């Protein structure tokens, strides 16, 4: 009987030590798991950002399709993000500068998951509109090629002034996007503004 009691006591003590040790390790395991998840999210976010830019760059030979391809990729990315438990929000402005027609086509796309008010001011011409989620808005402006213009954009409590250095000899595409990825661990944000010389 004493032998059985000793054996039971030994099992209880060993089990207790095991669970105490596991309890000590649990916060460290949780911390390591969170770090791995954040690393994956950051890599996923940077990949989405890179691929969005690639959708623009790879469309350079199809001038009239650049914005459409970017819009399609934004919708695809948002769906893929949702499948992984993330919320991807994008505000995008694409500007096609046609030097032979003296026209700028400014396309604004709201993919932020909510309705937002957008205001554009180009060379004193101001327009504003409530954009629903997934909605795109086109505006056309006349300009003199070879000059630099400013496009002021106000959206969702943010303001951005885009410098549009136009060419008198070639078409250009300017783009700006405000990208964010929301997860349970963190918020990843990036704003990109670039000019693309078209062939």
The CA distance from 120 to 150, in Å, is 10
Are 116 and 146 spatial neighbours (Cβ–Cβ below 8 Å)? no
Split at pLDDT 50, 70, 90, the class of 12 is: low
pLDDT higher than 80, residue 3: no
Each residue of 34-93: pLDDT tens digit? 677 778 888 989 998 999 999 999 999 999 899 999 999 999 999 999 998 999 999 999
Each residue of 116-149: pLDDT tens digit? 999 999 989 999 999 999 999 999 999 999 999 9
The reported pTM is 0.82
Q: What angle do CA 17, 23, 27 make, to 5 degrees?
A: 150
Mean pLDDT check: name the lowest of 1-5, 32-36, 141-145, 178-182.
1-5
Each residue of 92-117: pLDDT tens digit? 999 999 999 999 999 999 999 999 99
| pLDDT at residue 178 in the model | 97
Split at pLDDT 50, 70, 90, the class of 186 is: confident
Average pLDDT over residues 3-17: 53
Are 155 and 118 spatial neighbours (Cβ–Cβ below 8 Å)? yes
**Rounded to 5, what percent of the chain is helix, strand, coil?**
40, 40, 20
The CA distance from 199 to 187, in Å, is 37
């Amino acid at each position: 009987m004493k032998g059985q009691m000793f054996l039971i006591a030994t099992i209880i003590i060993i089990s207790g030590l095991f669970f105490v040790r596991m309890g000590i390790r649990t916060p460290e395991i949780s911390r390591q798991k969170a770090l791995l998840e954040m690393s994956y999210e950051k890599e996923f976010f940077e990949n989405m950002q890179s691929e969005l830019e690639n959708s623009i760059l790879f469309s350079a030979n199809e001038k009239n399709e650049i914005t459409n391809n970017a819009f399609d990729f934004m919708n695809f990315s948002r769906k893929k993000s949702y499948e992984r438990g993330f919320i991807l929000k994008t505000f995008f402005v694409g500007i096609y500068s046609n030097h032979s027609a003296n026209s700028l086509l400014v396309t604004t796309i709201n993919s932020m998951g909510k309705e937002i008010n957008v205001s554009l001011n180009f060379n004193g011409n101001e327009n504003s509109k409530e954009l629903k989620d997934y909605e795109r808005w086109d505006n056309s402006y006349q300009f003199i090629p070879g000059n630099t213009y400013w496009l002021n954009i106000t959206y969702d409590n943010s303001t951005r002034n885009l410098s549009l250095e136009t060419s008198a000899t070639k078409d250009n595409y300017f783009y700006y996007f405000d990208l964010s990825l929301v997860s349970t661990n963190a918020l990843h944000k990036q704003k990109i503004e670039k000019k693309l010389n078209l062939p």
